[in-house]
Every structure is written in structure tokens, then in C-alpha cells.
Homo-oligomer: A and B are copies of this chain.
């Protein structure tokens, strides 16, 4: 049975009612959260987007027939109820916004019935992900997911209004664009009109936003859908949303300044967190040296300490040979963990090996000042003392050491630092620690391609003082690039772009592109650059990730309405799916036999 709502008009959402409505006749509509029969009364918690409201069905008020109908109500039925708001007759429910009131139904309609849902609609459900996502339309009813999506909508509003007031224009760039061979794997769209040709879905609007600067739009932004056909991890989705911006006639300071104010406003307006400005800045090299990461989590200490100088002449071959191979010896001081069981230390050693290290050396400074160590036997007492001093070790501390190349030492100690902080509960989850990481390397050496590749992209501007090293020492050139990091997660990043022909040409040369290569890849942007290009710079945030951190969700799936799972499929709609042969024929493509793909 489902009744029409003709002639009815909702007066309030459920949780918009309060003490001030007592005595009012109201009409509310929503879903039955639960029904309880209590003596001669029936109680229903009615749920809508705003929250819960208690409805009371009393035969005296709703009539015999109505009372019987109320007895048939089950979870997730949709009701329209007209009645009077009264002070709650039973105990006040302090967990509820509407806990002091209830509505005595005078009349009601069942707008829609419901089968028994496969899982209860409640916050923090323990239901398996597969079931949740198959029934996403029910999962989306859960109040925690609703809270996330409501906050996401508000965040978009705050961002848009802030940027609009700062003179940014929102301009839509194409979704059907051209495939560019740089970067991640593109999603392709076969063209029906142009046989054998394909569109690509954008990985970002990078080239278009730079074009818009060439075209004089001065300040652009877009909350843009982007696509990458990559294997998924917990915080990746095939389509994701980016808050994308670009500014003309600015330098890096201008971009960071406006974005700091944006972040401050966003966190204040949405989750009432005060972000102090200016944000901390950290050079890339310092982040790597102290935190072993270009996105350091600064909510806890335990910085990496370099002891290369201290151990360079020690008797432990592992340390000295690493140094001889232009490597480093660095350590972590895990305070008060000298008593860590051997099994746990062994697990850390195993982690280190998985990260590429040959091992992990340790030194427990026992409470009585004695040592337990993997390498103490190779060292004199004063050598051990010097190490402890360098590491600021006190009795009871556990010292861990990696001796390897810069990359491996950073990876190992950076990863162990995070892992230990979690295990030892060192992280204050109420902190929101922002920082800018700056002065990234412009280029990184690709062993695979046997050439330098752009760390950000080929249009990133080198720092002026490093310009003369582009030809002589490309690996040492720093970029005018900046990442914004929150609690150890990269929220976004950007750079000043090259607007000078001569620098751009040098850059392409360094990347090993001929003029023809460059033109094939970025032709339309290079064409545009011939006709007067303003200095410009930009930044983009991962919007899903930003919201995830703001609401402290575990996965970006909890801040998107219709996410996909690891194999990039949608469990609810069963996308992707087979299509008619006719459709493929029109597109001029056919499916390869599975074998022939090998």
C-alpha cells in the first residue's frame, strides 16, 4: 500500500522541531527508524536528513483504524504524520536534538512500505563493505554517511564563495579531450564519427587551465572531475574530484597566501578548527632528512637523526660501508621503548627489508644504562656513547638505525616512524597540522627510461638561483613548487609555471624531448604560448581526500555518494557491463579474444 500525499504539505523536517514548537500542529515526513508498542501506545522514531523525532500513536487521538494501521508499521516505511508537538511524556532523551519533545499523531499516511532491509540503518555499522556497497542506496541513509556528504556539499559552497570573492572565475573544461602520453593511464572513449580515433578523460585540467591564463581569464578555478585508469588503493578512485585553480601575474607567495586563508576559513566554518597562519613551511630536503617523507606528519616528534659523522670511523662495517658508498647512517629514537620484545623488533627489521634495506640495526639503552644491541659488539664503548649522545638517548630508549642510500634510509625510517607512532599511540588525533613543503627537486632520474623526468610536470618553473644548473647538474635544480600537507597526507600541490620560451626549451632538452616530441605532446599549449603568455601559477587539492580528513573518515569511499571498489566496478549498478554488439559496431571497434591479448 502506498498513499498519495495529495493535499499534504510538510511543515518541518523532523529535527527542526524543538521546545519552541510545543502546542503547534505540524506535518512531518520521513522513514520509520523503529516502532515500539508500549501498553496502549505505539511509539515510532521518524527519521529524515535532519535527524530523529518521536511520534506517538494513541487510539484516542488517531482513531481505532489509525491505531491498527500504526501497528503495521515497520522499519523504513515512509510516513507523513500530522499532529501536535508536546513535551515528552516519558524520560527526556539527551542523545537526541528533539529529545525533549514528541508529536502526538492526529492522522498519518503510509507513503511507501518497505521490505526488511538487509542491514540496520545506523551509524558506524559493522556491515561488510560488499553488502554496504551493493545496497548503497540504503547505506547512504546512515547518519554518519549523510553527515559526510552534507559537509562535503557545504565545503564546496565555502570554497566556491571564497574563491569567487577573491576574483576567481569558475570555468568548465572539457571531459572529452585528447589523450596525452605523459602521466597515468588514460580512460579512452572511442569516437563514432572519427573511425579509429579516441577521446581521453582528463587526468586533470592542467593544460586547459594554463590556456585560460593565456586567454586572459586571470584567476580560474573549478571543482573538477578527474580520471585515472590505475589500480586502486584505499584512498584512490577511478574518478575523483579536484579543487583546481590557476592565477596570472602572481608568484608562489601569492598562491600560498590566498590558499592559507581559504584553508583557515574552511576549517573554521565547517568544523570549528582554528588554523593559525602563516602555515609552517619546510623545504623538501629538510622534510626528507627529518621525517623521511615529502609529506611529514608533524603531529608527533621522533625526527630522524643523522649520525653519519659520528659513526664514520666506527668498527661496524655495515655503517662504514654504507658511508663509503655515498650513503647515510640515520636513526630514530623511540623514547621509552628499550624493553620492546625481540619479536616486535624483528618485525621492524622485516619491514625495513621489505622497504629495500639490507637490515635495521638497533640499540636498546636499558634502564640501568647497559646496552642490548645488534651491533654493540663491533663498537667501542665511547663509540656507543657518542651515538647515544647524538641521538639524545636516555635510559630506557630504543634506537633504530638504517645505513643505506638516501632514498632507502628515508623510506625505511620515514615508514617506521609512522608505523611506530600508530602502534605506540603517539598521535593526537585532534590535531590538524598543516605545512607547506617547498623547494622540491625539479627533476628525478628515471632508471626505467634512463632520463630525467619532471617531478611535477614539464611546465614547472625552476628556482631562479638554480637556473644555470639545468645543463650542468639537472638533479640539483629546485622547482618553484609547493605541496600542502595535513597530518602526513598530501592535500594538494602546485607550482609556478614556465612562461619563458628559452627556459621551456631548455626544460624539454633536459627531459630528452626533441622539438617534435614536445609539439606532439603539448602542441596546442606551445602554440598558445607564442601569443603573449602571462606569468602564472596554480594549485590543486584532492577534494575527496580533504573531506575525508575533515570528517576523519577511514576511506574516501565514505565521502563519495557512489564510489567504486578496488577493481573499479560499482557493486550497485554493476558498471562496467557488456553492451550491444550494435553499439560497438557503430563505434568501429571490437573486443579482442581474451587469449589474443597475451
Contact = CB atoms under 8 A, between A and B. Distances in A.
A199 interface: yes
Interface in A379-420: none
A531 B138 contact: yes
A558 to B, nearest CB: 14
Given A5-B249, A112-B534, A238-B176, A149 B589 contact: no
A208 interface: yes
Contacts of A4: 464, 500, 535
A583 B179 contact: yes
A251 B533 CA distance: 53
A267 interface: no
Copies of chain A in the complex: 2
A111 interface: yes
Given A532-B31, A583-B188, A499 B178 contact: no
Contacts of A111: 499, 534-535
Interface residues of A, number: 130
Interface string A516-560: 000000001001101111110000000000000000000000001
A175 B188 contact: no
A336 interface: no
Interface in A149-168: 149-150, 152-153, 156-157, 160-161, 164
A567 interface: yes
A80 B5 contact: no
A491 interface: no
A478 B562 CA distance: 34
A218 B49 contact: yes
B194 A567 contact: yes
Contact of A141 (B215, B229, B248, B500): B215
Given A229-B192, A535-B111, A149 B176 contact: no
A408 to B, nearest CB: 31
20 contacts: A2-B500, A10-B249, A13-B218, A29-B249, A112-B500, A115-B531, A117-B531, A137-B527, A140-B212, A152-B171, A175-B225, A176-B238, A186-B583, A188-B189, A188-B583, A195-B591, A195-B597, A197-B576, A208-B561, A590-B590
Interface of A: 2, 4-6, 9-10, 13, 29-32, 47-49, 76-78, 80, 111-115, 117, 135-138, 140-141, 146, 149-150, 152-153, 156-157, 160-161, 164, 169-179, 181, 185-201, 208, 211-212, 214-218, 225, 227, 229, 238-239, 241, 248-249, 251, 254, 464, 499-502, 524, 527-528, 530-535, 560-562, 564, 567-570, 572-580, 583-592, 594, 597
